[in-house]
Chains A and B, each alone.
Chain A
């Protein structure tokens, strides 16, 4: 690299550079796989070649030194070949079966759990929260850490579940993660309209784009102190924060009123039943950093009731559909309120139009 010239539009490196030789040789020729134990997979190719995978949990938010630690382990046990999964787990790809146990021991010596395969709770997909976002109604990393500390035995497979269970956290309604399709979702919520800083607004923001940003047309033009400004029809606001995304002088954060809501029963895979959205279980729990005990307890309760009641191969949403929503609220002890009844567009579609209650 003689000249440090910048190059543009080169795209990412070709993935083939990073494939383990066994994977390269058997690309597209895999026959079947087995889960040897939670977090450990073996894939067998048509010709008999085998590749072993050890899946471990990562915090997603990490330092370059943590990445180097993963590199050290990959070099020690699998010639430096590793990958990450769609749920922020890290996978080590091993040619040699004998390296599995030493790797697992080394991982646990470094406080990194192995698991997340098959009927477990895998890593939580989550968003940025107070670590890096202006919209956040709650933190994501701390909430995830608190929940996973409590549910770690479900990740490592120490406690078995009827089927896989996927949890997601998003710190506001923008949902930079797929929380609307998870078995259990924790979603940060604002509960009050934006507070308008009139002085900053007239310097910083364009009135027409603020008005256009509101999906409920709750923002109207007005004159404040002789200057063009806006007002919010507070009864119509759903605290989505769209206006704040467009105009920094309309902060939506409100420490007294922000918190989290809990949603259940979504899924992405097409296995058995079609993909489903999550539905509201608990409309509001307080933000209680650093450990969010109320949210953690609520999630744990739902997991435990599901584990006890669901049949094998039933995801949370499938279990609830079998037993019916009335029973779900009954078994979990969660209160059903006015907030559980949809009142947005097409709400009527969710009213029960049959005498069948299950």
Chain B
């Protein structure tokens, strides 16, 4: 119960928190009911119901195909995330050391941010083929800027008084970065991850729509070409579950590393 309450961005009185899990179950049931109703309304060949969809997911799970395709998509997203995310998060730390370089690179970075990455996908295919590398670079190109701009916001919010205090106390440039700049920036990087991780997964899926021979995006697209709406929907659900799981893991590590922050008071909303 407390885990539920802690994950909320605003304080809720203890007496009302008790109802949150029941409320959530209620909303979930209502969604399934609506889904089932929509399926009757539109016809199940257009919108398969939840039962048919989850039955398919079960079959896929038994045949190990679900595992294989999820792993492919997850690996692409993860590798792209590491490639683009680490680069995007590290760049602000380097730019901080040289205000001149920061000023000089600013227009180029915003121009590069403005390029629609989806439009670059054909180019990536030409360069890298339809293998896993194309999706990794595609994901990296999306994630890089999200992490870069959040990291930059963190760098800009570093308190110069804390830096001065540390310098007077004998901190080297590296120690200032490690102790003051890094700790100030961590919450901003988490905010970046919160947006970037789902984008990384959907980036990998979209990449697989365009060119792939495995992965959840490939499965969805392949089902579509066979007019298999159950397959399409099952694929979408699995992608959603993947995103939810990744988010939950992120939430946990965020809570642990930001434990120092003032907790929300028990005030009445």
Say if A and B assemble together.
no
